[in-house]
Structure 1
Amino acid sequence: MQTLQQTDSDGTVTFRKPVREDGAAIWELIRSCKPLDENSMYANLLQADHFRDTCVVAEMDGDIVGWISAYITPQDPDSMFVWQVAVSSDARGIGLGTRMLSALMAREEAEDCKRMKTTITLDNEASWGLFQSFADKNNAILSSEAHFTRDTHFNGEHATEHMVTITFREAIIESAA
């Protein structure tokens, strides 16, 4: 089974598209990354299989230490929606989240994307830091607004998710022209 691989310059981390055999390991990684919302193992298997072109696995020493699930939104084909980012405690502190986002956006499948979107609760400092860092690194503009609200969408059971939009400079320049 062929996978697209992108190896970091130091050779220690490999970024690739997932394969269906990765589903269980991805599920285990997510379970170990509290407070991430856990999906069923089947959902992670489907992501690794059906959405492989827009998902990223990061491997170090043969172990999956990073995961991004993402997809190009049907309503807005210029946007890549990042559903989840997970980084193993063994791989934290080396900028893996930002590097996985960069690997995702460097793919041919993302070449027409002018924006990256995700949702984040206000108390998730790690995610806000990751996406702000990615926006800064790419000289992009980050904006946000409440999207899925606690009372309207989550029946009071989950904090409001804010839609974070990172607009790349090329898209800003194109819209001004």
Structure 2
Amino acid sequence: MLAPAASHGAGMWRVAGASGELDLNSSYMYLVFARDFAETCRVALVDEEVVAFVLGYRRPALPDRLFVWQVAVDERHRGAGLAGRMLDDLLSASASADPAVAYVETTITDDNTASQRLFASFAERWDARLETSGLFEAQDFPDRHDAEPLHRIGPFPALVRV
């Protein structure tokens, strides 16, 4: 697991497109995230090829909140725990930041049980609460899109500074 470089953006875009689950953003967006938000993103490489990634950013108004936008794992590497390890690495790395991450937020459609399991397992590993509430309803989107409820995980007792 490592913070991405701009050179990983194309691979991230490829993995997202092949996922069959994610809303595919422009290739430019993945390049920008890999460059400008590397601290809050992770990639997993096999033989220098991107096989998984997490895109995240700190919310400007609430910098102790890490919003995880996308998580994707190449089909050939699913089931190996890469997504969970990338999330764990991101949270662990935040412990030395000021402020440390107090909450991880993401949105997950109701039919995406794989992501729901991923984040429930993440919350359990970190001994944190997982709360779900409304955020973006289907009618909020200009195209056909399911509602995206907010999943908020935290606080993280293991990161509390004494």
Q: Is TM > 0.5 for Structure 1 vs Structure 2?
A: yes
Contact 1:78 1:112 in 2 (8 A): yes
Please give the secondary structure, in 2, of the residue aligned with 1:58.
strand
Which structure ranks higher in relative contact order (CA pairs < 8 Å, sequence separation ≥ 6)? 2
Gaps of 5+ in 2: none
* 1:40 paired residue number: 26
Q: Is 1:106 matched with 2:98?
A: no
Equivalent position amino acid for 1:49 in 2: R
Contact 2:55 2:68 in 1 (8 A): yes
Contact 1:16 1:58 in 2 (8 A): yes
Identical columns (%): 37
Contact 2:107 2:151 in 1 (8 A): yes
TM superposition score normalised by structure 2: 0.91
Q: Is 1:23 matched with 2:9?
A: yes
Cα RMSD (Å)? 1.8
Deviating 4+ runs (over 4 angstroms): none
Please give the secondary structure, in 2, of the residue aligned with 1:86.
strand
The count of aligned residue pairs is: 158
| Alpha-carbon distance between aligned partners in 1 of 2:2 and 2:101, rounded to the nearest angstrom | 19
Contact 2:63 2:99 in 1 (8 A): no
* 1:93 paired residue number: 79
Which of 146, 151, 154 aligns to 1:164? It is: 151
* 2:106 paired residue number: 118
Gaps of 5+ in 1: 1-14
TM superposition score normalised by structure 1: 0.84
